[in-house]
Structure 1
Amino acid sequence: MTKSLRGTKNRIFQRAGVTALAATLLAGVAVPTASAAGRDRPELRQAVREFVDAGFAGMQLRVRDERGEWTGSAGVRELGGTAKPPTDGHFRVGSTTKNFTATLTMQQVADGKIGLDTPIAGFLPQFGFDKRITVRMLLQHTSGLFNHTGEYFPDGTVVPGIPWSGPEWVAKRFHTYQPEELVRLSLSKPPRFEPGAGWSYSNTNSVVLRLLVEKLSGRPFADELDRRILRPLKLRDTLSPGSWSGMPKPYAHAYYPYQDAGQWKTIDVTHQNPSWASAAGDMISTTKDLQTYFSALQSGKLLPAWLLTEMRKTHPLSESLYGFYGLGQFTQDLGPGCPGTILNHNGSNNGYAALMYSTPDGGKTLTASITAGDVVDAAQKFPAELNKLLKTVFCGK
């Protein structure tokens, strides 16, 4: 990963404090495969191809709109091979996990177990939280809690947390972290600001929400996720893996290039222990399951209307590549000529990136996985490629 990418705290892919995708520029770019009930979508085929041309190892894309559902892929499943990424392949969704965590938390609110503006200190007394921190602040990233993956300030100052990049992360990529350990690390550092006094994206907020869900439900987080979201929506290819480092088949491989003692190295990081991200970024899914989930959420199948309204209220200081942040998701305006807004929560986890978009009614969706290879500069092209893709799908351009 280049210094410029580290210094921007992974703003290209979801600002989760996790490593942005490095990428590969393949000698022979595979022609995208596609299926759409016999209907070709050349503009979508071109969009997928352009991500690979920009240097990413592979991409799988799924779009559902008024013309039906389309899936396609381009690039390779594994470096050195010729097989394309499977369009039903599993991948690590990174910070897209935060949206699931937020939904699960707000379901507890819907059940009356806690309020959005209820302080959390009394529910998790073992940590000694500031009594001003509320559920809403955790969901919106206004708690001020130190990000356990490190804090990066505009003046270039860095306050490190646990290793999440470079040879330090590579050496510990199978290490197991407990959620309580991550929270205590955060609390051992000065807060970024007083509760409610600012906005800063902190992975620790979602880890605390995980522990809160477990306290309120009386169940392990993965069990409550399965009971409340995965089973009702039949998301059979989605899981919260905890410390499991495996990957269900089929999948495309992901790679991580890094510098060690001045030398560039690339390793296959398909298998890694995601417990360092916990409920902020550990989940595995498919484009189909993400499509089903996000459409169900936006169309009101998982939360009552009043909580969906709260989820879409954004903070004025939260602007990023993906729009403005609300309670666990972004709201984005694509500009002139693009009707309305779109909702999203993208993510990345060393080697993988996920895209998850929907219109507010859940009727039009875009979900995708992008895998990295052994070239370090393709991520710099990501914002432009993403903008073209979004306008192709949601603006008809």
Structure 2
Amino acid sequence: MPPRRIRTATTLALVAMAAGALVTPAVAGSAADRHFPTRQAIEAAVRDGAPGVVAEARDRNGRWSGTAGAGDLRSGRERSPRDRYRVGSITKTFVATVLLQLEAEGRLSLDDTVERWLPGTVHGNGHDGSRITLRQLLNHTSGISSYTRDGTFVEQVLRDGFFEHRYDTWTPRQLVDLALRHPPDFAPGTDWKYSNTNYVLAGMTVEKVTGHSYAEEIERRILRPLRLRATSVPGTDPRPPRPGSRAYSRLSDDPAASLHDVSAVNPSMAGAAGEMISDSADLQRFYRTLLKGGLLPPRQLKEMTTTVAMDPRRPGRRYGLGLMRLELSCGTAVWGHRGDVHGSSSQALTTRDALHSLAVNVNGDWSGGDLAVAEAEFCG
């Protein structure tokens, strides 16, 4: 959702360090030693320009968490392991899980067309919802353009127009209509391209099938049963997550652009594609439970983990149904998702056996570093 990620100059790193950047492992001794590379990686992210980082890992030996840098650049307050944050596109895994649960209940088929459930919604300018399946929405092979690439949306939400429009409410239909201004990226099923529009449509489908919003279904089917008390679907509520850190963005591709506090924003501009809030502990519990089969029957979990190539030039990255498979440099494969939204960059990953997991968040949407943290944690 945010502007293209850019490596920052050293100046912001100095600001963050002056604001009290430090690394604080949650536990000492052997756990700290085991996760020393991860601790180094989050510290390096701050040196490279991230305002602050929070990470938590779980393995056979227990839990480790660490923080680096500032949660508030103005006051110097540090990041906390208890921080809640906007998780962006990690929301997609929750939405996909609900649709797969509905399939398991016999209420829909992933081979149903979009037209069957949302008649007339995907139509015109080369689009035909009768040729696109729900499965193609979930694995990004629909060809529907992402509304986040529309010029009006970019200016009002991701650039200078943010300050005038940060509290605007966007309906799912408005977001879809922005995407339909543009021709399809390719014919359905012939290629792969990430599109936030796919998951806005998936959220609309959940509501059509159940009579309840996707937020209500996520709450009923996932959040309450797993007791994910730090996780929420905020709807149109612009208030920053609490407890949490401030969120920062440049609202520009220019690495020299001014830094802005974007903590408060109406999350309806992301909707079912990326509006959720969580923390590192909840994210790990969700993904570990999901991969262990605690949320889906075997057939649906197999469907979710059946992947397509994302980029032929990067064969180690594949996409399932709201779930990404990433092969790291050491050959370890991890499953999960990343999420980028105003002032927040997150990643939640677990091994397929769900015995080793990681969640990491940077409270800036330009600086990167979370992949390096994953490499450090799983490859060490």
Length-normalised TM-score, structure 2: 0.88
Deviations, residues 192-223 of structure 1 (Å, cap 9, x unaligned) = 12211221111000000000001111112211
Q: Is contact 2:120–2:129 with CA below 8 Å preserved after alignment?
A: no
Q: Which residue of 1 aligns with 2:371?
A: 386
Q: Which residue of the other structure, out of 252, 276, 281, is the alignment partner of 1:283?
A: 276
Matched, 1:146 2:145: yes
Output the amino acid matched with 1:294.
Y
Post-superposition shift, 1:121? Answer: 0.6
Q: Which residue of the other structure, out of 362, 369, 385, is the alignment partner of 2:354?
A: 362
Q: Percent identity?
A: 35
SS for the counterpart of 2:225 is coil
Residues 1:236 and 1:20: Cα distance change in structure 2 (over 3 Å): farther
Post-superposition shift, 1:162? Answer: 1.6
Q: What CA distance in whole angstroms lies between the structure 1 residues aligned with 2:301 and 2:152? A: 33
Moved more, 249-258 or 51-60: 249-258
Post-superposition shift, 1:311? Answer: 1.3
Q: Is contact 2:344–2:362 with CA below 8 Å preserved after alignment?
A: yes
Q: Is contact 1:322–1:330 with CA below 8 Å preserved after alignment?
A: no
Q: What CA distance in whole angstroms lies between the structure 2 residues aligned with 1:34 and 1:260? A: 33
Q: What CA distance in whole angstroms lies between the structure 1 residues aligned with 2:48 and 2:216? A: 40
Q: Which residue of 2 aligns with 1:245?
A: 238
SS for the counterpart of 1:328 is coil
Q: Which residue of 1 aligns with 2:57?
A: 63
Q: What CA distance in whole angstroms lies between the structure 2 residues aligned with 1:34 and 1:354? A: 19
Output the amino acid matched with 1:356.
A
Q: Which residue of 2 aligns with 1:190?
A: 183
Output the amino acid matched with 2:3.
T
Q: What CA distance in whole angstroms lies between the structure 1 residues aligned with 2:219 and 2:297? A: 19
SS for the counterpart of 2:63 is strand
Q: Which residue of the other structure, out of 170, 184, 200, is the alignment partner of 1:177?
A: 170
Q: Which residue of 2 aligns with 1:6?
A: none
Q: Which residue of 1 aligns with 2:2?
A: 18
Listed as ranges, the matches of 1:186-265 within 5 Å are 186-258=179-251, 264-265=257-258
Q: Is contact 1:19–1:348 with CA below 8 Å preserved after alignment?
A: no
Q: Is contact 1:120–1:134 with CA below 8 Å preserved after alignment?
A: yes
Q: What CA distance in whole angstroms lies between the structure 2 residues aligned with 1:176 and 1:54? A: 35
SS for the counterpart of 2:161 is helix
SS for the counterpart of 2:249 is strand
Q: For structure 1, list consecutive stretches of 5 or more residues without a partner in the other structure.
A: 1-16, 151-158
Q: Which residue of the other structure, out of 49, 52, 57, is the alignment partner of 2:46?
A: 52
Length-normalised TM-score, structure 1: 0.85
Output the amino acid matched with 1:323.
R
Moved more, 295-304 or 168-177: 168-177
Listed as ranges, the matches of 1:44-193 within 5 Å are 44-127=38-121, 128=123, 129-150=128-149, 160=151, 162-163=153-154, 164-193=157-186
Deviations, residues 297-329 of structure 1 (Å, cap 9, x unaligned) = 111001111221111222134466971111111
Residues 1:259 and 1:234: Cα distance change in structure 2 (over 3 Å): closer
Matched, 1:315 2:296: no
SS for the counterpart of 1:208 is helix
What is the alpha-carbon root mean square deviation over aligned residues? Answer: 2.4
Residues 1:69 and 1:90: Cα distance change in structure 2 (over 3 Å): same
Q: What CA distance in whole angstroms lies between the structure 1 residues aligned with 2:252 and 2:341? A: 18
Q: What CA distance in whole angstroms lies between the structure 1 residues aligned with 2:376 and 2:252? A: 37
Q: What CA distance in whole angstroms lies between the structure 1 residues aligned with 2:279 and 2:4? A: 20
Output the amino acid matched with 1:172.
H
The number of equivalent residue pairs is 362
SS for the counterpart of 2:358 is strand
Post-superposition shift, 1:259? Answer: 5.7
Q: Is contact 1:140–1:325 with CA below 8 Å preserved after alignment?
A: yes
Q: What CA distance in whole angstroms lies between the structure 1 residues aligned with 2:304 and 2:265? A: 31
Q: What CA distance in whole angstroms lies between the structure 2 residues aligned with 1:75 and 1:64? A: 22
Matched, 1:30 2:30: no
